[in-house]
Amino acid sequence: MKGMLVFLLFAGALHVNFDDLYERRFSIAGLATAGVIISTVLTGYATYYIFKIAGLEIPLIYALIFGALISPTDPVAVIGILKTTRTSKSLEAKITGESLFNDGVGIVIFIILVALASAGPEAGYTILDVTVLFVREAFGGALLGFIFGYAAYMALKSIDNYQIEVLITLALVMSIYSAASLLHMSGPIAEVVAGLLVGNHGKRFAISTTTIDHVEKFWSLLDEILHAVLFLLIGLEVFAIQFRLTYLLSGLLVIPTVLAVRFISVSIPISLLRFKKEFSKGVIRILTWSGLRGGISVALVLSHPPFHGKDFLLHAPTSWYSFPSSFRA
């Protein structure tokens, strides 16, 4: 969460075509905002009662935190499969765009819920306080990412040396993370915006073909290394967790629950948008099954401060939903 996650998000945004996203902006925005919020709430409440039935008592706020960390999706394996089939470009853009932005929204919700859980009910937070925090994190992060991304774009435009330009992209990610931490804005959303700017406008007008090749290879390799490190860390965590049959049973119950919630959270935005737009046949089913969980969920659950019941969450999201992209592909 503190450092590693922003590299993963920038690497993902770097390879996304902004024109495809803009053309389907309403669908992606609905799935990445309303869809994530619906998924967080429904998954949180369902998980709370599943754990309760299994005899694992945790506060509702932590069940909602689980809902937030399990809602972001990872499109890597799905996109790999779609490229080998006759899938429409529109559907591929929706899956990629949704995953890219629901990562940022899900992380902002996660941060807010963790802050509420840490402060406790005596803090007296109101809906207005939470709304202001969300706006500052999300919109402030987007503005920060644009400012830093544009500065990097101008630097890349003035230089024609692929070694230095690769280092500029690396410095961009680290400087955004430092600034976001200092200003209390969303680093993940800032990284996504900066990655889109450099990966689209930068490639067209500021970076040579040779540099593009080196930048893409560098970030692809870094993405794979960081995913491997994440799953190594969760393996070390599992060694420290006492295995219990109730964890296994609750995890097995949570799997179909999360799938059902995914279906609902996709169906509602798509159904509402169908009044204005046409969608591919079977889009809801495909989007439901494309909601694989990956490194983001692992990073979030590992970063959560210790509390009574964290073992349940470590077992549920990481053991059952997430696999490294290379294994999934």
Residues 172-192: tens digit of each pLDDT:
999 998 998 898 888 888 988
Parent domain of 243: 4-328
pLDDT at residue 242, rounded to an integer: 66
Asked if residue 84 has pLDDT above 90, the reply is no
Of 111-125, 167-181, 231-245, the poorest mean pLDDT is in 231-245
Looking at residue 309, its pLDDT comes to: 63
pLDDT above 80 for 307: no
> pLDDT value at position 312?
67
Q: What is the rounded distance in angstroms from the CA atom of residue 211 to the CA atom of residue 188? A: 25
CA distance 265 to 284: 10
Dihedral (C-alpha) 14, 19, 20, 24: value to the nearest 10 degrees?
A: 120
Q: Is 90's pLDDT higher than 80? A: no
- Mark residue 199 as left, alpha or beta (left: phi above 0; alpha: psi -120 to 50; beta: remaining): alpha
Whether the per-residue pLDDT at 22 is higher than 70: the answer is yes
Please state, in angstroms and as integers, the Cα–Cα distance from residue 247 to each residue in 39, 94, 298, following that order: 22, 34, 17
Range among 116-125, 157-166, 267-276, 277-286 with highest mean pLDDT value: 157-166
Predicted TM-score (pTM) of this structure:
0.78
Report percent pLDDT > 70 for the chain.
84
pLDDT in tens, 50-71: 888 888 788 888 889 989 988 8
The pLDDT of residue 318 is 43
Q: How many CB atoms lie within 10 A of CB 96?
A: 25
Give me the CATH number covering residue 106.
1.20.1530.20
**What is the rounded distance in angstroms from the CA atom of residue 82 to the CA atom of residue 67?**
27
Q: What is the pLDDT of residue 203?
A: 83
Least confident of 74-88, 259-273, 285-299: 74-88
| Percentage of the chain exceeding pLDDT 90 | 17
- The confidence band for 95, taking pLDDT boundaries of 50, 70 and 90, is confident
Q: What is the pLDDT of residue 39?
A: 93
Q: What is the mean pLDDT of residues 24-44?
A: 88
Q: Which residues contact 238 (CB under 8 A, 6 or more apart)?
A: 314, 318, 319
Q: Indicate whether 79 pLDDT > 60.
A: no
The angle subtended at Cα 47 by Cα 45 and Cα 50, nearest 5°, is 110
User: What is the rounded average pLDDT of the residues 229-245?
Assistant: 72
User: What is the distance between the alpha carbons of residues 56 and 250, in angstroms, rounded to a whole number?
Assistant: 9
In this prediction, residues 212-230 reach a mean pLDDT of 86
Q: Please state the domain count of the chain.
A: 1
Contact 73, 258 (CB under 8 A): no
Of 11 and 146, the one with more pLDDT: 146
End-to-end CA distance of the chain: 25
Task: Tell me what the mean pLDDT of segment 217-243 comes to.
Answer: 78
Buried b (16+ CB within 10 A) or exposed e, 260-296: ebbbebbbbbbeebeeeeebeeebbebbbebbbbbbb
